[in-house]
């Protein structure tokens, strides 16, 4: 009768029972859920009837439901509530889940049934979605070692078990360093920083019992505005070093040895599975298919981005030289002087924009745009449990008022919450006999405002807000039969396409006029400011692209290095030097804190995915422009029908072709960033 394992009860088709979660029960609950899931798979494997698509592949879609529910609950504790006993629980649970996954894919009787169905079924015997599910399931088992001999399987399990522990240790180290606070003792040290940000630093300090100081948390949402506006160069450097040295301080939370071992184990696993490198193994099921294809796209953009950085730095250095302080632009200066150049070139001061960037109003704007495009309506509700007082919930309905799903929002930074922004699916959409509606969440790390004041966010943070909501829409608009194919369960280098295209609705006048309103006067963002933002859309793209691509290139090269002995810091430094990395910029995610690729396998050798998806995004955005605007109903319907609703039921390249009428034009990516087109 453990409520953490039971089918979710309550309204809206059942909701996560956050009020009944007991962290101390997680380990025992996982033991029970895993044993139950394995028993359910044994039943499928030992079915005396000949294997068929229905009694094997579809049956597997319904197995392990209690475990999936428990993983959803625990996943939130890992990412949003990682306090108290949770880190130690995670260290116990992660290996258990790795061991379970190996037991599934190494289940000989189960794989024999899957293989029989696969070998005896022609594509014409099933629907396109069904055959894709069968094909994916079979290849997934093979890619995870189902065809290895007993000795090889044992070795694979040892590797996966050790990796699970290392991933957890890496994450906990980064989280520990993110709890660091940079204390400021005088308001004079924050000269230049917008009043709303200074007030949020004061509020954070008060929460820590320091009402006469200012606390700068070690998160991107706090770091970026300080580096952009603070006149105090020494403070900028301190904040910059604290943020970019996470996991790289030579102390108990240093991640370099962990990374070296992860890379060795990944290389060994890839060879065991018959692949040249970990990168080849990871990219096989993606759109790119091969590391060479991913590298080709990145290197098409890299030199153009570096050339643009040279121009940006020259513009900044002129301003620094005019100040007469003998300053050479360093990484902690880049954002600060870039802002000066923006003011000089475009007469655009984002300090003038920020009073119009109210978090709550922009959230309303996202909802409104989703209504205009896809007919979705969002109604705040208070009749479901939440895991923290900050969390708010909305019921989502369609244009006819039919229930679509639930959307949770956890917007603020706090102790025990990992940095960044992300989307989580608590429950996937499905329709295997009776429809199941999705439950999704967006999670951010905005800094809370002072009591009674609205939360004002930067333009970049607003873009991130819309980005993550694009993932949520991908989950909410899913309309498939099988949960394994629902929503964001698509190729890693395709999953960012729906989120990146959603960023394009933020700067539309329809959103800005209604929802970018001044927090005091209620007046909309002036057309003059909106025009300046549009005119400066490609400003600083050198920095943004190089910062990102450096991380993606290092990720790929790390995982193409095979079983070489790697010192992560040295590899990062040498690789960037070989690439001609400008000294004024560092990787967006330096290796010792690169959680995308070292807290799990999902984005490893896959950080290029954002650029790959951005090529699709830029081309898709041009489809709206060609049709007359971002609210064109025909293009919006085509986006819904070919991308957002179909999940993984069709090949993503085919889905894009159906949307655009042709393969992607990668030159659209260069045009979007203001780079020369070949």
DSSP H or E stretch at residue 245: none
DSSP per-residue letters across 456-488: B--HHHHHHHHHHHHHHHHHHT---SSGGGSTT
- 439 closest CA partner among 450, 454, 424, 417: 424
Is 395 a known active-site residue? no
**Count of CB atoms situated within 10 Å of the CB of 445:** 23
In Å, how far are 174, 278, 524, 632 from 478, measured between CA atoms?
Answer: 34, 31, 34, 21
Interior CA angle at 517 toward 513 and 523, to 5°? 85
Secondary structure, 3-state, 440-456 = EEEEEEECCCCCCCCCE
Residue among 468, 547, 572, 584 flagged as catalytic:
468
Is the separation of the CB atoms in 611 and 296 below 8 Å? Answer: no
Residue 552 backbone zone (phi > 0: left; psi -120 to 50: alpha; other: beta):
alpha
Question: Which residues is 181 bridged to in the sheet?
Answer: 217
Residues 6+ apart with CB under 8 A from 445: 219, 220, 221, 412, 413, 417, 419, 420, 421
Is the separation of the CB atoms in 414 and 189 below 8 Å? Answer: no
Is the separation of the CB atoms in 118 and 108 below 8 Å? Answer: no
Secondary structure, 3-state, 35-61 = HHHHHHHHHHHCCCCCCCHHHHHHHHH
- 495 closest CA partner among 671, 301, 634, 288: 288
Is the separation of the CB atoms in 448 and 412 below 8 Å? Answer: yes
- 298 closest CA partner among 549, 545, 607: 549
Is the separation of the CB atoms in 183 and 210 below 8 Å? Answer: yes
d(CA 618, CA 668): 5
| Helical pair 609-627 and 291-323, crossing angle rounded to 10 deg | 80
- Pair type for strands 403-412 and 439-446: parallel
Secondary structure, 3-state, 518-582 = CCCCCCECCHHHHHHHHHCCCCCHHHHHHHHHHHHHHHHHHHHCCCCCCCHHHHHHHHHHHHCCC
Question: Which residues is 425 bridged to in the sheet?
Answer: 440
Burial 150-179 (b: 16+ CB within 10 A, else e): eeebebbbebbbebbbbbbbbbbbbbbbbe
Is the separation of the CB atoms in 34 and 69 below 8 Å? Answer: no
- Residue labelled with tokens 């309550």: 10
Is the separation of the CB atoms in 185 and 216 below 8 Å? Answer: no
d(CA 284, CA 1): 42
Q: Cite the active site residues.
A: 468
């Amino acid at each position: 009768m453990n409520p953490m394992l039971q089918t979710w009860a309550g309204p809206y088709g059942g909701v996560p029972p956050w009020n009944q979660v007991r962290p101390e029960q997680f380990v025992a609950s996982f033991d029970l859920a895993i044993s139950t899931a394995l028993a359910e798979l044994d039943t499928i494997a030992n079915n005396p009837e000949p294997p068929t698509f229905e009694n094997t592949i579809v049956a597997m879609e319904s197995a392990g439901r209690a475990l999936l529910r428990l993983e959803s609950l625990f996943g939130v504790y890992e990412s949003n509530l990682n306090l108290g006993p949770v880190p130690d629980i995670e260290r116990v649970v992660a290996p258990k889940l790795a061991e379970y996954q190996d037991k599934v894919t190494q289940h000989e009787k189960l794989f024999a049934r899957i293989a029989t169905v696969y070998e005896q079924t022609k594509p014409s015997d099933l629907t396109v979605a069904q055959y894709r599910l069968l094909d994916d399931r079979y290849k997934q088992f093979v890619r995870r070692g189902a065809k290895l001999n007993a000795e090889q399987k044992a070795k694979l399990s040892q590797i996966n078990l050790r990796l699970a522990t290392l991933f957890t240790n890496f994450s906990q180290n980064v989280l520990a360093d993110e709890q660091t606070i940079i204390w400021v003792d005088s308001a004079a040290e924050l000269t230049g920083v917008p009043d709303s940000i200074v007030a949020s630093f004061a509020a954070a300090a008060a929460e820590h019992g320091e009402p006469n100081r200012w606390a700068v948390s070690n998160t991107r949402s706090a770091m970026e505005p300080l580096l952009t506006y603070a006149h105090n160069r020494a403070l900028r450097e301190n904040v910059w070093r604290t943020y970019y040295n996470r996991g790289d301080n030579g102390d108990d939370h240093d991640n370099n040895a962990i990374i070296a071992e992860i890379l060795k184990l990944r290389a060994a696993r890839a060879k065991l599975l018959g692949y040249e490198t970990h990168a080849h193994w990871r990219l096989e099921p993606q759109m790119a298919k091969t590391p060479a294809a991913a590298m080709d796209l990145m290197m098409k953009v890299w030199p153009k981005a570096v050339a643009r950085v040279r121009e940006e730095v020259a513009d900044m250095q002129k301003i620094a030289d005019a100040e007469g302080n003998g300053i050479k632009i360093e990484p902690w200066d880049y954002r600060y002087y870039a802002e000066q150049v923006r003011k000089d070139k475009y007469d655009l001061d984002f300090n003038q924009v920020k009073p119009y960037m109210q978090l709550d109003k922009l959230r309303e704007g996202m909802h409104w745009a989703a209504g205009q495009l896809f007919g979705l309506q969002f109604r705040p509700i208070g009749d479901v449990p939440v895991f923290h007082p900050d969390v708010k919930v909305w019921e989502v309905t369609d244009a006819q008022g039919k229930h679509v799903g639930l959307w949770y929002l956890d917007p603020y930074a706090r102790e025990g919450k990992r940095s960044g922004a992300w989307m989580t699916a608590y429950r996937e959409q499905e329709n295997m006999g009776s429809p199941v509606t999705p439950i999704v969440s967006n999670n951010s790390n905005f800094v809370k405002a002072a009591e009674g004041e609205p939360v004002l966010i930067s333009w970049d943070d607003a873009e991130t807000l819309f980005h993550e909501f694009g993932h949520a829409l991908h989950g909410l608009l899913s309309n498939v039969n099988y949960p394994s194919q629902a929503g964001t369960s698509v190729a890693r280098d395709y999953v960012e396409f729906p989120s990146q295209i959603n960023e394009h609705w933020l700067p539309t006048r329809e959103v800005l006029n209604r929802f970018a309103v001044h927090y005091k006067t209620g007046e909309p963002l002036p057309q003059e400011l909106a025009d300046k933002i549009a005119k400066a859309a490609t400003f600083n793209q050198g920095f943004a692209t190089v910062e990102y691509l450096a991380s993606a290139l290092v990720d790929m090269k790390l995982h193409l290095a095979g079983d070489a002995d790697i010192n992560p810091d040295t590899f990062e430094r040498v690789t960037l030097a070989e690439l001609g990395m400008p000294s004024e910029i560092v990787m967006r995610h330096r290796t010792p804190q690169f959680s995308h690729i070292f807290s799990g396998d999902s984005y490893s050798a896959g950080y290029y995915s954002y650029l790959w998806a951005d090529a699709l995004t830029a081309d898709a955005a041009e489809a709206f422009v060609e049709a007359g605007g971002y609210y064109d109903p025909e293009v919006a319907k085509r986006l819904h029908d070919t991308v957002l609703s179909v999940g993984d039921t069709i090949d993503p390249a085919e889905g894009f072709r159906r949307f655009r009428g042709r393969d992607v034009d990668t030159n659209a990516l260069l045009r979007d960033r203001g780079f020369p087109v070949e």
